[in-house]
Structure 1
Amino acid sequence: MDTPFKVLFCQPEYEPTTGLTMDKEILITNFVQDEIALYKMTDDEVPEVVENKRLTLSFSCDDEEARLYMDGLDIVPAKYLEGDSAPYLAPTEIPILLYDTPNKKDKLNPIHSDGYYPFIPGYYRIKVIIGGKSYFSWLKVKPKQITEEQWVSMRNDIEETLHGLAQDLIHKNASLGINSEIPIPLHILRKLYIIKKDFSKWVTALKDIQTNPRMRIRKEYNLSPRDKTGIIDAESIRYYARHPESRDYIYQPKNVRSYDLVENQWMQKIIKFIAKEMNELLEYLEKHKEKVNKEIKREKYFHHNEHAQVRLKSKVLDELTKYERFVKRVRSDCLLVLQEEWMTEVKETTPMSIPHSLNLDPRYRRLFSLYRVLKSEDVSISLDSSYDYYWKRTDLLYEIWGFLQLINGLQHESIGFEVVKGWIFDVNSNSKSVQVPFLEPGTTIEFKRGNTKLNLFYDETLPFKKEATTLKKPIFTNSNRNRPDARIDLYESEEYIGTIMFDFKYRPLRFVWDSAKLKGSNKTDTMQQLISYRDNIYSPFLYRHEDEIHWQNLRPVHEVWAIYPSHEDNNSPKNPLDDYRVRLMELTPLGNQDLFYQSIEEAIQKVIDAY
């Protein structure tokens, strides 16, 4: 579309025919004014640049009030940008250097010669505001192969984690435990849940049917010697009239019980179906027990019996054995009913109708209801459609992925918190369809471990006034940097004792924290943001039972975490944890998370120890 502005990127490209390297212009032309349309753009509509190559940006417009926002601009020194909470670029004919090789100076365009930002592979959103209208587009940074694997795996990991959380929710509600070391497939889990839910009620109905099934009294006629007294009815007289030769015998009726009713045919079908399902479950559980036993033997070969992995897998084996014992009991109860004498009278057929009596008798109704649920389609898990719009926002993708790692980390065996409520954990998992809700700003998840409680917040905006705080949301700020990606508020016996802040930075470490820029006004916006989260947060609820302590003099934020992925440019700067309470934490898809889990527990314990 035609736009009243021009956004141009330049990047050198080698020309094999001439042997020269020339600047290639990447002009952004595919702007849209509907943000939803932005997320529907296909890959072939998105201009591309290559990572780790010199990159400049030119933004020109006749309207001096125009603004250009772009993911990653916050790393540029603030003196070259406008705005505080959301830095933007004003129109300028001078190209802005976004990235160049380290220590290389651009003599022709000295602006930002000290601001190198190697854009990590992914999609970067561009937003231009002019005359009250907004225009949106993308720039894609093409990755190297190894980084591309991590990039692709991040979305897959998010989807798998969200599905896993939904599955764990069903585990929990089914009282089946939530150990996911060897996850039980959803279709198997669903059957276990259905069978175990209201087990005592339907098995009581089953045993009552076993001893007292529905039956009908019917007459059976037999010829009996006349000298034996017995009942004579109209049918006996009609028989005698038709068969005078049988005058020495009486066609005599006898009342007998009949169990071959349609409702009992249904019971036979239902009980056999349940028994068959239990056999399939047992087959599955047996295979997985064998698998876990082999893994335990392998772990014991390298570790002692009390090693964490051995204990974890032994716990899984115990759970599988518990499930197996339960399923065997269900199968045994079914087989006992099928072996009853009255059941042998019931014809093995597929009933063509559902008799009214099947719904009138509560015992039969309960078993039929169980059968219908088991026969229905498997439960499905879907993601809220809002996730579709965020897969291309690589920075947000990393942010969501990182938040999910926090959820998993808090529940890790080495930390030991359990979810109480919040977000997906409030979803009704009893229905056939479970939709994972979108991770909306302000989402809160509550965890508990003994007397310690914590609230994990996602992307919540902090208030600016003390009056806007509550015990459940106890902090406020006097800074415009008031929207951390995540935070943990900790409580001990319902008393607020401190906070840990988290920000996810999808960029190399030296563009998150550079110790050489701590002096004067050289701090980047990112560094100022992290320091502000520590220095400019207050709470009137901190240690509220200690009246002699003035809350104004206390800092409730114990640590601020800057979480970033691995990158070939990452170095090891001086740790700012002691001086600024900023913890630098590398967290990468496909990477080992042990240090991440260990550091979470360490940070939480520091808050508790301070209390």
Structure 2
Amino acid sequence: GIYITPSDDPYYIYNHNENENKYLPGLYRLKLVNQSTVKYSWLKIKPKFLTENLLEVMKQDVENTVKGLARSFHANTNGSLSNYSSFLTFEEIEALTILNNSYKDFNLNTYFLSHSPRVRAGSYYHWTRNKKRNLDDKSIKKMSIKKYDKELYLKDFHATVDISENRVLKRLLLEILQVIMNVKKSIEKIPKNLMSSDLKKDFTLLQKYSSKLNYLLKEGWLRKVQIVQKEKGISNAYLDYRYIFFKDLNWKLKHISNFQPQFSRQYQYYWHRTDLLYEIWGYIKVIEALKGLGFTPVKGWIFDNVDLDFQELKPGTCVEMKTNGMYKHFMYLKIKYDDEVLPEEEEKVTLSNPLWHSSPHNRPDIRIEIYDKNMIFQSTIILDTKYRRLKNMNNFGKAGIVEQLNAYRYQLLSPYPFRADSYQKYNLFHRKNEDHQVIDVAALYPG
């Protein structure tokens, strides 16, 4: 979509010496249009500081983490079990949700199905002394070839379970069992010290599913049913709720990816901008780490969307989190992404935006503001993502970060920390008379 006006002057498409420009890693098609011919070529731009494999891993990590965090929040706010784990894919997490919600009906339907399957009267021929059946053409033909003393070759009937709807059912159960075994294998790979109590419950649930299905398939009446792949429908069983249940359950498990929430198109741009991708990755990892420390998301960004619609991460985004009861003191956090501290003087500060700046460095990538239960501002932590090598950062100057981090540490100010009567004694005996309330700064860098 970029067009260059013809000129005698050379046009540099890519110059590796121009490190200040933000080039987008990827594969690009070049099209040269002359009066008589059209020529094509390709340009490949590799990411700096990361291998292409690591870049791909980071993309997948961002997607899986965002989906997992949003799904966990969605599950908790709707009262269902949260199964989020960064070790599992989105499809596996959704499969666990479906299986959790379906277990009660699964248990009932497997019980009733094991005791009273659908059957059909099937015909068969055999030699018998019972003369209750009439002779037909097949009987006469068979008896003309071979005879048994006082026995007739007659057609009889018996109930059979080897019918089309049961063949389809057996295939469906095998496919459901395969999904269950795959998720079990993924959970078994998670180190025990990193496995949440929810996942342990899920693993127990999967074992119940697999044991009931294996019993039905190997020891129940289904062992007499053929496995046929070509049978497509179970039209004869559409009014039987047991068969409909397993048909629907299998369909849900097989079509999870069709309903996978889609990222905003803006993310496709982020995936090419490695520096932006790294900022987003850092912000998401901070939220994930805080969640691991016992903070629960309350609102903001993906935590505003009950339909799991992943909107782009815009500058100024604020996710709010609170302690979930595991700490003695209640804390409320505001985690702000690429949010500019606007006031340049103390008089313009407000309770909702308690900081002002006295230096040009006023836009950190990640800012964590800490409040108490009464929303009294306490302090701030600054984290800045730096898409560059460590050896180029630990100095002053254009490429270094020491000057910038110092500015964040000592020149982001606030008159509001602990401004409440309840903190009067603390302010008198413990707190220094300082306006700068950034208690820590840090830089995040690749590797």
Output the TM-score relative to the length of structure 1. 0.47
* Counterpart AA for 2:380: I
1:204 aligns with 2:204: no
Match of 2:36 in 1: none
SS in 1 for 2:444: coil
2:99 to 192, 195, 220: 195
Aligned to 1:262: 164
**Is 2:21 aligned against 1:123?**
yes
Does the 8 Å CA contact 1:265/1:346 hold for their aligned counterparts? yes
Distance 1:409 1:548 in 2: 29
Q: Output the amino acid matched with 1:123.
A: N
Shift of 1:203: 3.1
Aligned equivalents of 2:94, 2:170: Cα separation in 1: 23
User: Can you give the 5+ residue segments of structure 1 that lack an aligned partner in the other structure?
Assistant: 3-27, 31-43, 51-120, 126-146, 231-235, 293-312, 515-523, 559-576, 592-611
Q: Aligned equivalents of 1:376 and 1:421: distance in 2?
A: 30
Within a 5 Å distance, the mapping from 1:155-304 to structure 2 comes to: 158-166=58-66, 168-169=68-69, 172=72, 173=75, 175=81, 177-180=83-86, 183-185=87-89, 188-189=92-93, 191-216=95-120, 256-282=158-184, 288=189, 292=191
- 1:510 equivalent in alignment to 2:401: no
Deviations 1:513-571 (A, max 9, x none): x9xxxxxxxxx999778766414x769xx868x5999xxxx9xxx9xxxxxxxxxxxxx
Q: Which of residues 283, 293, 296 in structure 2 aligns to 1:418?
A: 296
Which secondary structure state, in structure 2, belongs to the residue aligned with residue 165 of structure 1?
A: helix
More strand by share: 1
Q: Deviations 1:85-104 (Å, cap 9, x if unpaired)?
A: xxxxxxxxxxxxxxxxxxxx
Matched, 1:442 2:342: no
Contact 2:355–2:412 under 8 Å retained in 1: no
Distance 1:505 1:338 in 2: 54
Q: For residues 129-163 of structure 1, give each alpha carbon's deviation from its aligned partner in whole angstroms, at most 9, with x where no partner exists.
A: xxxxxxxxxxxxxxxxxx95369899567524413
The structural deviation recorded for 1:382 is 6.5
Mapped partners of 2:67, 2:385: distance in 1: 29
SS at match of 2:225: coil
Q: Which residue of 1 aligns with 2:43?
A: none
Task: After superposition, give the CA deviation of every residue in 1:73-131 in whole Å (9 maximum; x if it has no partner).
Answer: xxxxxxxxxxxxxxxxxxxxxxxxxxxxxxxxxxxxxxxxxxxxxxxx55369xxxxxx
Equivalent position of 2:31 in the other structure: none
Contact 1:270 1:367 in 2 (8 A): yes
Q: 1:355 is matched with which residue: 225, 234, 239?
A: 234
| 1:321–1:490 CA distance, 2 compared to 1 (3 A) | closer
Letter aligned with residue 333 of structure 1: K
Is the 8 Å Cα contact of residues 215 and 258 (structure 1) preserved in structure 2? Answer: yes
Give the match for residue 286 of structure 2: 406
Question: What is the SS of the residue equivalent to 1:456?
Answer: strand
CA distance change for structure 1 residues 281 and 383 in 2, over 3 Å: closer, same or farther? closer
1:162 maps to a residue whose letter is V
* Alignment map for 1:533-552 (pairs within 5 Å): 533-535=412-414
AA aligned opposite 2:106 = W
Residues 489, 267 of structure 1: alpha-carbon distance in 2 compared, 3 angstrom cutoff: same
Distance in 1 (CA, whole Å) between partners of 2:300 and 2:50 is 29
In 2, Cα distance between the equivalents of 1:156 and 1:272?
34
Q: Distance in 1 between matches of 2:381 and 2:416?
A: 13
Identify if the C-alpha distance between structure 1 residues 378 and 578 changes in structure 2 by more than 3 Å, giving closer, same or farther: same
Tell me the amino acid that sits aligned with residue 364 of structure 1.
Y
Aligned counterparts of 1:324 and 1:381: Cα–Cα separation in 2: 25
Q: Counterpart of 1:360 in 2: which secondary structure? A: coil
Equivalent in the alignment of 1:328: 207
Report the Cα distance in structure 2 between the residues aligned to 1:186 and 1:462, rounded to whole angstroms. 36
**Contact preservation (8 Å) 2:409, 2:441:** no
Native 8 Å contact 2:109 2:242 kept in 1 = yes
Q: CA deviation at 1:219?
A: 7.9
Residues 220 and 255, structure 1, Cα contact 8 Å, conserved in 2: yes
**Deviation for aligned residue 1:375:** 3.2
8 A Cα contact 2:405 2:442, kept in partner: no
Change (3 A) 1:511 1:361: farther
Q: How far 1:334 sits from its partner (Å)?
A: 0.6
Mapped contact 1:453–1:494 kept (Cα < 8 A): no
* Distance in 2 (alpha carbons) for counterparts of 1:269 and 1:322: 27
Q: Work out whether residues 457 and 488 of structure 1, in 8 Å CA contact, stay in contact via their aligned partners in 2.
A: yes
Q: Secondary structure at the match of 2:318?
A: strand
| Partner Cα distance (2:158, 2:333) in 1 | 68
Identity %: 21
Structure 2 counterpart SS, 1:123: coil
3-state secondary structure, aligned to 2:319: strand
Q: Read off the aligned partner of 2:314 and give its amino acid letter.
A: E
**Change over 3 Å in CA distance of 1:238–1:316 after alignment to 2:** closer
- Residues 65-104 of structure 1: pairs in structure 2 closer than 5 A: none
CA contact (8 A) 1:162 1:436 kept: no
Match of 2:441 in 1: 585
SS at 1:333 equivalent: helix
Per-residue CA shift, 1:356-379, capped at 9, x if unaligned?
A: 344332221121122223334757
Q: CA deviation at 1:483?
A: 6.0
Deviates more, 1:499-508 or 1:401-410: 499-508
SS at match of 1:338: helix
Going from structure 1 to structure 2, the CA distance change for 1:238 and 1:426 (only over 3 Å counts) comes to farther
CA spacing shift, 1:377–1:316, aligned 2, 3 Å: closer
Q: Contact (CA 8 Å) 2:371, 2:379: kept in 1 or not?
A: no
TM-score (norm 2): 0.61
**Aligned with 1:45 (options 6, 10, 13):** 13
Shift, 1:265, TM fit:
1.5
- Deviation digits for residues 414-439 of structure 1, max 9, x if unmatched? x332334543456678xxxx875321
Name 2:33's counterpart in structure 1.
Answer: none
Counterpart amino acid of residue 346 in structure 1: V
**Which residue of the partner structure matches residue 335 of structure 2?**
456
Deviations 1:428-462 (A, max 9, x none): 78xxxx87532113323232212433232223467
1:487 maps to 2:367:
yes
- Range 415-424 or range 496-505, more displaced: 496-505
Q: 1:500 aligns with which of 365, 373, 380?
A: 380
Mapped partners of 2:221, 2:275: distance in 1 = 68
